[in-house]
Amino acid sequence: MSLRFGTDGVRGVANSELTPELVLSLGRAAASVLDATRVGRVVIGRDTRRSGPLLEAALAAGFASEGVAVELLGVVPTPTVAWAAGADGVPGAVISASHNPYSDNGVKLFAAGGVKLSSADEERLEAELDRIVRGAERDAPRPSGAKVGTVRLAVGPVGRWADSIVDSIDGRRLDGLSIVVDCANGAVAEHAAPVLRRLGAEVVVIHDRPDGRNINQDCGSTHPDDLQSAVVENGADLGLAFDGDADRVVAVDEAGELVDGDQIIALCAIDRHERQLLTDDTVVVTVMTNLGFRLAMADRGIGVVETQVGDRYVLEALDRGGWQLGGEQSGHVIFRDLAGTGDGLLTAVQIADLLVRAGRPLGKLAAKAMTRFPQVLHNVRVASKPGAVVTEMAELVSRVERDLGERGRVLVRASGTEPIVRVMIEAEDDDVARSAANELVAAAEAAASRLASGAP
């Protein structure tokens, strides 16, 4: 069995689909393709899943078997590994399945310097992995003796990463700000509160007791209900919910209302625009970003560049354009001048700093930044060929777009990983959005049925 890369590394059921044998082979392949054998080092981190130590050992063995010195960072957020790789100019790897349930796990890889892999890198990795799994290099010479790679614990980079986040607000403080933090029983559990307290914030922490099985379980950025209640109960100024590997965060205002990634990016874009710190007055988002965000940016003269779904595509666009700020509705936010990838804790500190400087509640700031249009999402499962279903719907999609005009938006796309057609409608009126979405869902189901039966 082999692996194929998705939009954020490889994932599967740990010890079933993602076996230690396969992960060991992936480490060997990555040692070659990511040039780790020449650089001589790699940094590896993991989240709190029960299968983490098992797969960490396998991945480390794969790298070490190719002569690479492995430095284990332990349980740390994904962006910590990216930062360490960037600071030291070495490749990095993370054992994590992000917001997935604990039974899943995955491997995310960074090229030397903490850079996300390109599509070409991933294709080379897949080909090399397939070659190793087939045993095509079984008789090739392997490092031995003093050339065998070492595996050791390394703690220094974690402290330097935390220092970089504290330093990101140029000596300002968060004194007087009360924050509730939901760590999702994940990788940031031991790191979020210390950083925020160093900056002077008053911090209450929930879901910070990982047991290997409770990561993301009814908590964190995908389940913020507990955080919303805790913010109100504690009379806090701000709530912050991370996902399992802490590369993303969503916020909660003083009234317990959710502030998603679109609103966070809007707040930060406007703040940087007003301080003349937003390069080319441009921000990068994905096709899923709310129409209200686009209208708000247009009202302020801020340009919006759009990419396909996936923070890697946002990052690629930022680097092509030389811009600083971008992200996704899910809470992946990239401050390219401060980090090489999305960092939930860095984003959290930026939000908190903005609140202190503004001197106004988050709820009022978010409401002024943008108005979220009602957004209706449906996943239509089809037997096969989701792309053909989307093609069949083209005429209807065009008609619905004309009916909605400039104050509405339609997105119908085939999933890249599942036999699913994704339907998204935005409109100023919720009933209008739901009616249009229902019409498109019915059309997708009918087209899928026709294609499955072979009817013209």
Residue ranges per domain, the chain? 10-157, 168-369, 375-453
Strands 282-286 and 408-414: unpaired
pLDDT beneath 50: ranges in the chain: 1
What the block records as the tokens of 158 is: 């974690």
Measured between alpha carbons, how far is 377 from 441 in angstroms, rounded to an integer?
10
- Give me the architecture of the 10-157 domain, per CATH: 3-Layer(aba) Sandwich (3.40)
Measured between alpha carbons, how far is 360 from 364 in angstroms, rounded to an integer?
7
State residue 3's pLDDT score. 64
Cβ–Cβ under 8 Å, residues 182 and 210: no
The CA distances from residue 325 to 18, 272, 335, 355, in Å, are 34, 9, 5, 18
- Stated as kind and residue range, the H or E segment containing 100 is none
- The highest-level CATH class for domain 375-453 is alpha beta
pTM listed for this prediction: 0.90
State residue 357's pLDDT score. 97
Tell me, yes or no, if the two domains 10-157 and 168-369 fold the same way.
Answer: yes
Buried b (16+ CB within 10 A) or exposed e, 308-322: ebbbbbbbbbbeebe
Q: Which of 25, 51, 96, 98 is catalytic?
A: 98
What the block records as the tokens of 178 is: 């009360």
Cβ–Cβ under 8 Å, residues 131 and 139: no
Helix (H, G, I), strand (E, B) or coil at 375: strand
Measured between alpha carbons, how far is 431 from 14 in angstroms, rounded to an integer?
42
* 98 counts as catalytic: yes
State residue 439's pLDDT score. 94
State residue 446's pLDDT score. 92
Question: Is CATH 3.50.50.60 the right assignment for the domain spanning 168-369?
Answer: no
State residue 289's pLDDT score. 93
Q: What is the pLDDT of residues 48-60, one digit of tens each?
A: 999 999 999 999 9
Q: Compute the 3-state secondary structure of the chain and give helix, strand, coil in percent, each to the nearest 5.
A: 45, 20, 35
**DSSP E strands: which ranges in 68-182?**
69-75, 92-95, 104-111, 115-116, 151-153, 178-182
